[in-house]
Amino acid sequence: MKKLITTVQISAILFFLSLATFSSLYAQSGLWTWVHGDSAYYTSAQYGIRGIADSSNVPPGLYAPVYWTGKDGKFWIYGGKDYNAGYYSDLWQFDPDTRMWTWVKGDSGIVNQPPTYGIRGVSSPTNSPGCRGLGCPAWTDTSGNLWLYGGYVKNRTGTIQYNAMNDLWKYDIQTNEWTWMQGDSVRTPRVLGTKYVSSPANTPGWKDECSDSWVDANNNFWFYGGGEDFWPEQLLWRYSPSTNEWTWMSGSNVFTQGHYGTKGVLILLIILENVLPILHGRVPTGSFGYSEEAIPGLFTISF
């Protein structure tokens, strides 16, 4: 005897078919794709020919290089630390369309090179930030130039081999030259100045372990936190390329726990036009040290 398919049964079948279709469409959104590089550890870099993209080119394995996204959507990295504690000064570009790396500038595989500053504000083919590691703030300006601040650097003189620095650099993609823009060629301490007031004397001081950086709609550069000799900070800074000056915008120079307030409720300090997301960072634990764990939350601050 034949069984009739009821309206309820048809609805159930359609529901499960739609659920399966939905799952197949959205299951892909959380998946990773192996795009480039080796599946083995400690493999050697393949530099190829400087300035020429090639499918076999690949940078060395690196910890905390400086990184940018260019105005054309291409990815850039500079420096970083390898598994042998060597610090690099290579500049690389990755094209996500062709999936190929290009070694753009720097020495192939030569590590621990000190900076070559040249004349402040003047670009030169021989200028170089030198080896950089342990993370530093970086920005892409509205003209497509790549900027970096500080980082862990090989000292040019003295008995201490490495130090975090407070120098600011700009790389012009069109000319393929670096320019030492601001800061000192020897590490100098922080000068806060007056909150919200820019000054030629202001400086965030030596900085590393920092990747929370942004560019606002007016081409000002911002960064939050970072460390001074691995001690985390709570300071928010803004740099204006047009005036070449830093401004202390928020936070305290006193080493304290964060102040969360009420979730979702903004405490408005001063109104400008930009909202900056802060995703993670190191946090103080007790009277000494910090936690390596990321803060599992999203914060915004309005200026």
CA–CA separation, 225 vs 234, rounded Å?
5
Structural domain includes residue 149: yes
pLDDT at res. 157: 58
Q: Percent of the chain scored above 70 by pLDDT?
A: 70
Segment among 151-155, 172-176, 185-189, 293-297 with least mean pLDDT: 293-297
Give, as one character, the DSSP assignment of residue 293. S
Whether residue 286 is contained in a domain is answered as no
**Residue 157, in any domain of the structure:** yes
- pLDDT score, position 185: 84
pLDDT at 172: 98
- Among 204, 273, 189, which residue's Cα sits nearest to residue 237? 204
Q: What is the pLDDT of residue 266?
A: 63
Fill in the amino acid letter for 206. Answer: W
Segment 70-120, tens digit of pLDDT: 999 999 999 988 888 888 999 999 999 999 999 999 988 888 888 999 999
What percent of the chain has a predicted confidence (pLDDT) above 90?
A: 42
Report CA Rg, the chain: 24
The stretch 166-177 carries a mean pLDDT of 96
**Within-domain flag for 63:** yes
Q: Are 257 and 171 in contact (CB under 8 A)?
A: no
Q: How far is 75 from 96, CA to CA, in rounded Å?
A: 8
- What pLDDT, in 10s, does the model give residues 219-239? 999 988 776 655 677 889 999
Domain membership flag for residue 31: no
pLDDT band (50, 70, 90) for residue 27? very low
Lowest-pLDDT range of 40-44, 60-64, 158-162, 263-267: 158-162
Identify the CATH number of the domain in which residue 57 sits: 2.120.10.80
The residues, any chain, with a CB within 8 Å of residue 12's CB and separated by 6 or more, are none
- What is the number of domains present in the chain? 1
Q: In terms of pLDDT, which residue wins out, 145 or 187?
A: 145
Kindly state whether residue 20 falls inside one of the protein's structural domains. Answer: no
Decide if 176 is inside a domain. Answer: yes
pLDDT at 264: 75
Mean pLDDT of the chain: 78
Q: Which residue has better confidence, 73 or 26?
A: 73
Taking 60 as the threshold, does the pLDDT of residue 192 lie above it?
yes
The pLDDT value given to residue 170: 98
Per-residue pLDDT, 256: 63
Has residue 210 been placed in a domain?
yes
What is the pLDDT at residue 273?
A: 33
- Domain carrying residue 83: 41-255
- pTM of the entire predicted model: 0.76
Res 163: pLDDT: 77
**pLDDT tens-digit profile of 117-158?**
999 999 999 999 998 888 889 999 999 999 999 887 766 555
Torsions phi, psi for 192 (to 5 deg): -70, -45
Q: Per-residue pLDDT for 166 more than 80?
A: yes
CA distance 223 to 246: 11
**Are 171 and 156 within 8 A, CB to CB?**
no
**Contact predicate 76/139, CB 8 Å:** no
